[in-house]
């Protein structure tokens, strides 16, 4: 996820302080990975330097001064360009799991046991995500669906690989 673009998008609704940006980001996108304050302020500093935001005001109260940031026209254009670009699909052509299966076969370890353990781990995580999806709001349901679909694809690969282990073993040991 592009944190800079996400913060710019949040600023399109109006100027905000760094604290407000962090809070909104965490509510909307950071369920599993909340932003650190330092990350917000370093990102805002970079966006300011690049002319994508400007300081809209500085408030001083009982604590440190708080800058209020506003998106610039260049920032709006940048977010629009980013949103219009499709994300590159991740083909997982260098899978750690595949590497482990091949190494298990090459070293005489049980690739079947490795696949069984991985299947159990995937199913465990799927149960957790399914429960979270059931209890969550629509945003949480959608993010859980995304993860579940990827895990289902992994499970299909695990089954296919298990069915082809003898052939794979012959090829990697040749």
Tens digit of each residue's pLDDT (9 = 90 or more) over 42-78: 999 999 999 999 999 888 776 777 899 999 999 999 9
The yes-or-no verdict on residue 164 having pLDDT over 80 is: yes
Q: Report yes or no: 31 and 143 within 8 Å, Cβ to Cβ.
A: yes
Residue 41 tokens read as 């302020």
pLDDT on residue 1: 66
Instruction: Quickly tell me which residue has 């940031």 as its tokens.
Output: 69
The yes-or-no verdict on residue 101 having pLDDT over 80 is: yes
Confidence bin at 119 (pLDDT 50/70/90)? very high
Alpha helices per DSSP H over the chain: 3-11, 18-28, 37-49, 73-84, 96-106, 111-135, 138-163, 165-173
Q: Output the CA–CA distances (angstroms, integers) from residue 17 to 8, 12, 99, in the order listed.
A: 12, 13, 46
Average pLDDT over residues 9-17: 95
Q: What angle do CA 164, 166, 171 make, to 5 degrees?
A: 95
pLDDT on residue 93: 63
Confidence bin at 28 (pLDDT 50/70/90)? confident
Can you tell me the distance from the alpha carbon of 130 to that of 29, in angstroms, rounded to the nearest whole number? 19
Q: Report yes or no: 72 and 49 within 8 Å, Cβ to Cβ.
A: no
Give CB contacts under 8 A, 24+ apart, made by 124-129: 125/151, 126/151, 126/152
Dihedral angle computed from the Cα positions of residues 148, 151, 157 and 162, in that order, rounded to the nearest 10 degrees:
-120
Average pLDDT over residues 28-42: 88
Confidence bin at 94 (pLDDT 50/70/90)? low
pLDDT on residue 55: 94
The yes-or-no verdict on residue 90 having pLDDT over 80 is: no
Can you tell me the distance from the alpha carbon of 83 to that of 77, in angstroms, rounded to the nearest whole number? 10
Average pLDDT over residues 100-114: 93
- State the average pLDDT for the chain: 92
The yes-or-no verdict on residue 106 having pLDDT over 70 is: yes
The yes-or-no verdict on residue 89 having pLDDT over 90 is: no
In this structure, what are the phi and psi dihedrals at residue 10, rounded to the nearest 5 degrees?
A: -65, -30
Look at the chain and count its residues.
Answer: 174
């Amino acid at each position: 996820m592009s944190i800079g673009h996400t913060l710019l998008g949040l600023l399109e609704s109006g100027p905000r302080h760094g604290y407000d940006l962090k809070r909104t980001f965490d509510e909307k996108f950071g369920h599993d990975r909340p932003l650190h304050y330092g990350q917000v302020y370093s990102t805002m500093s970079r966006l300011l330097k690049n002319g994508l935001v400007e300081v809209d005001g500085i408030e001083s109260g009982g604590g440190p001064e708080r800058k209020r940031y506003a998106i610039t026209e260049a920032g709006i254009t940048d977010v629009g360009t980013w949103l219009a670009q499709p994300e590159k699909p991740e083909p997982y052509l260098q899978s750690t799991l595949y590497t482990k299966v091949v190494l298990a076969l090459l070293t005489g370890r049980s690739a079947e046991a490795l696949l069984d353990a991985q299947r159990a781990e995937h199913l465990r995580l799927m149960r957790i995500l399914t429960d979270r999806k059931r209890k969550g709001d629509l945003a949480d349901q959608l993010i859980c669906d995304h993860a579940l679909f990827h895990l289902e694809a992994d499970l299909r690969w695990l089954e296919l690989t298990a069915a082809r282990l003898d052939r794979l073993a012959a090829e990697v040991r040749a």
